[in-house]
Chains A and B, each alone.
Chain A
Amino acid sequence: MKFTNYHRAQSLEDAHKTLQKDKSNTIVGGGLWLKLSRREVDTAVDLAGLDLDLIETTDKTIRIGAMTTLTQIEESDTLRQIASGILVEAVSEIMGRQLRNVATLGGSIIGRYGFSDCITPLLALDARLDFHERGIVSLQDFLTEKGKVDDILKAVVIDKTKAKGYFKKVKKTAHDFPILNVAVVKSEDGTRIAIGSRPAVATLAQAAMDHLAAATTIDKKTITQAARIAKESLKYSTNHRAGAEYRAHLAEVYTRRGLMEVNGLED
């Protein structure tokens, strides 16, 4: 990316105003894509110094600032306690330490990347996004929207409820994007299953979740059925990393294993 001006925002309002000034103006998150992007931009807006890199807890929620680095998440004891630490686990498998030291959570979400390893567990955790203008938007809703985001993401909010979680990333090497990823969270409110990198951006396996919600008991049989539904009800496609059929197969296997694990059953 090439830009003519660099602006370190003094406040969110200041950042917002600067973004409005020129259509090309953009926020720089971690900056990882600077080298890859061919965009030419008038002003790059930096949100550093606005306290958006904090992990804060209240009685019921955890609020992760948009500029929080993946390393901060990886090392957060608070987040390690949530749903068997699936967010921590997912983040720790993203590339190398150097990259995680600069990549931000906000940057991982705002692009709605199919290959994101953050979005999948956050979707299973029913995360909400807190925007400067729009306020709270569920991650689930945000992912279905399209187009460039004009608003400024301030934080990601998740509940502190007791839950069991499972995360699996299928990859070629330890330093890779996912071929597919699966996150399962079981709490008092029920079970959520998110499947990402199909290779489209993560989505909930709603039909499979409904099947479990309707079941009177959750046993190996219902779980196997739910996993099959996760495979059959979602769209899987082919790209150079893997074919649709193999992705669908992986989704079924890991949905089943995830459900077995969060229900304390032996596979």
Chain B
Amino acid sequence: MKIEMNINGRKRIFDIRPDELLADTLRRHDYTSVRKGCDTTSCGVCTILIDDEPVPSCAYLTVRAEGKKITTVEGIAEEAERLAGCFGDEGADQCGFCNPGIALSVHALKLSAKAPTEENIRHYLVGHLCRCSGYQSQVKAIRRYLGDTT
């Protein structure tokens, strides 16, 4: 079946199977920033934004995305670049497999919450597993990115 969706501000029409999951559709169409890491909706590396809210694309039917606003990290390039700078300053970037997903969640958090606290950040990002960093440097980098200089 054919469906139309808006990805990163661009209209795209894909031919899909009805039971296809969005992570597979996106990867097939070269949105390689959308990664697959677990099969159980547990790890966060497949995170994308649908209508500005983070969603696990590995558990989202592509057909349901019809008419929705989809954002991958390619769609928030400037924000991601700035966040990368903060990660660099805090030494928070290691293997980076989880980073595009985190960038999207951080972006959504920024859109939805005013002045999030460290607790808010840790709560919002709990679904992004990272085996490299120990998390603290990530949290510091995100606070820096969100303008929290305390």
Q: Do chains A and B directly touch (beta carbons under 8 Å) in the complex? A: yes
User: A35-B40, A101-B55 known; A48 and B64 CB under 8 Å?
Assistant: yes
Q: Report if A175 contacts B (CB, 8 A).
A: yes
Residues of B in contact with A, size category? 20 to 34
**Interface-lining segment among A50-58, A90-98, A116-124:** A90-98
**Interface-lining segment among A3-11, A78-86, A196-204, A233-241:** A3-11
Q: Which of A1-57 contact B (CB under 8 A)?
A: 1-6, 28, 30-32, 34-36, 44, 46, 48
- Interchain residue pairs with CB less than 8 A apart (16): A1-B19, A6-B63, A30-B59, A32-B59, A34-B19, A34-B21, A35-B39, A36-B39, A97-B54, A97-B124, A98-B41, A98-B105, A101-B54, A102-B56, A102-B59, A175-B129
Docked pose: A96 CA to B40 CA in angstroms: 13
Contact with A along B1-38 (1 / 0, CB 8 A): 10000000000000000110100000000000000000
Q: Is the CB of B61 within 8 A of A32?
A: no
- A28 nearest CB neighbor, chain B only: B61
Docked pose: A175 CA to B44 CA in angstroms: 11
Q: Report if A255 contacts B (CB, 8 A).
A: no
- B interface vs A, CB < 8 Å? 1, 18-19, 21, 39-42, 44, 47, 50, 53-56, 58-61, 63-64, 105, 108, 123-129
- A interface vs B, CB < 8 Å? 1-6, 28, 30-32, 34-36, 44, 46, 48, 71, 92, 95-99, 101-102, 174-175
